[in-house]
A and B are shown apart, each in its own frame.
Chain A
């Protein structure tokens, strides 16, 4: 069974840092591009970042560029999101998602990040 499990969320103060992880299982992780998508409380979905299967191509939304870093470790079947200089508006459930283009799209259950003093 294909599974994505996020972890690392929590409460952090403005200006602080947090590292999210996404553990993948049930498929050949190294063959797929991966993404982070977030959803602020009561709001819609917002694409955050994408990374290609071999990490050759990386993209960020303007709202997080320069503050967030996406990475992956194919040997560990894991995706990461390093979040620095966090702001209140970064408060959201963060989902990792496999391949947002086609039938293989799969989402994790999400991890909540709360930025508050």
Chain B
């Protein structure tokens, strides 16, 4: 099956710093990737959809200048949380779609971000 990886699996950073999370499709090329955020005991909330080679589409209420998404290749998308605050602490999960198989999404293992 299709495999999506994320790195790092967990990260702790200080307030005001930036942190980058990588999402890779290991055995397929993903023209579309999704970034979700999940707070404890809450549902996954879609933050943005990124398409390779173009700007990401952000969901309402998500600050695009704070959550920078780059999808520079068909196997890699990155999410950079800029000027992180404690309220950004959350579980971030990426997902990738296989081209031509519209409704099949494969999810990464997630990244736990803690901002102190």
> Do A and B interact?
no
Which A residues contact B (CB, under 8 angstroms)? none
Which B residues contact A (CB, under 8 angstroms)? none
